[in-house]
Amino acid sequence: MKSRNWVRLFLSTLLVGAISTIIVGFAVKWSEYKELFIAADIVEILLVISWLVGVGFIFSIISQMGFFAYLTVHRFGLGLFKNAWNPAQIVLIAFVLFDLIYFRYQVFGETGESITPYLLVPIGILLFGSVIAYFKSKQTNNKAFIPALFFMFVVTVIEWFPAIRVNESSWLYLMLYPILICNAYQLLILPKFTKQKS
């Protein structure tokens, strides 16, 4: 890929991160921000939007770092494990899914609390990742499904880890959705940039 296309991918992903974080930020913290709209406090609204744009840029950069790290790891895995790389990725997906449910419940679950809330988000991420991986496999070939699912699930969870450690619900969702959107965007748009000649 030409350096100009890397820059285009970087900037467009930054924009996706900023826009998605603004939307998710207002949705997640609507109870706090609705008063600003009722009062038509334009200055405060613009300050909140500016803050969300900055946070969105950070989430986008985290997503891009994870994406390029995965591209490197994927090439390394193909070279080292050959045909065993896809089964290894399936095992890692299962391992991370179990960890995200069980250990998060063990650390943050209160006595007598149901494990259900700790099941829903990981399964939701896995389902969303499966949909994106399906479209990726249709876009390229069937062999792309497992690597795409691995990226969308395992790498997303790694990128999301700072919010998992805090375990504050608004931050969990504020970080998760923009990262998922940025990851999906990069995965699906990359062929467009690699095929461009300039």
DSSP 37-80: HHTT-HHHHHHHHHHHHHHHHHHHHHHHHHHHHHHHHHHHHHHH
pTM of the model: 0.89
Range of the structural domain that residue 99 is part of:
3-195
User: 164: closest CA among 70, 100, 116?
Assistant: 100
| pLDDT confidence of residue 110 | 81
**Over pLDDT 70: what percentage of the chain?**
96
- 171 — pLDDT class (breaks 50, 70, 90): confident
Q: What is the pLDDT of residues 36-92, one digit of tens each?
A: 766 776 888 888 889 999 999 999 999 999 999 999 999 888 888 888 999 999 999
183/159 Cα distance (integer angstroms) = 10
Instruction: Check whether 16 has a pLDDT greater than 90.
Output: yes
The whole-chain average pLDDT of the chain stands at: 89
Q: What's the length of the chain?
A: 198
Average pLDDT over residues 156-180: 90
Average pLDDT over residues 146-157: 95
**Over pLDDT 90: what percentage of the chain?**
54
- 143 — pLDDT class (breaks 50, 70, 90): confident
Instruction: Check whether 34 has a pLDDT greater than 90.
Output: no
| pLDDT confidence of residue 198 | 41
Domain count, the chain: 1
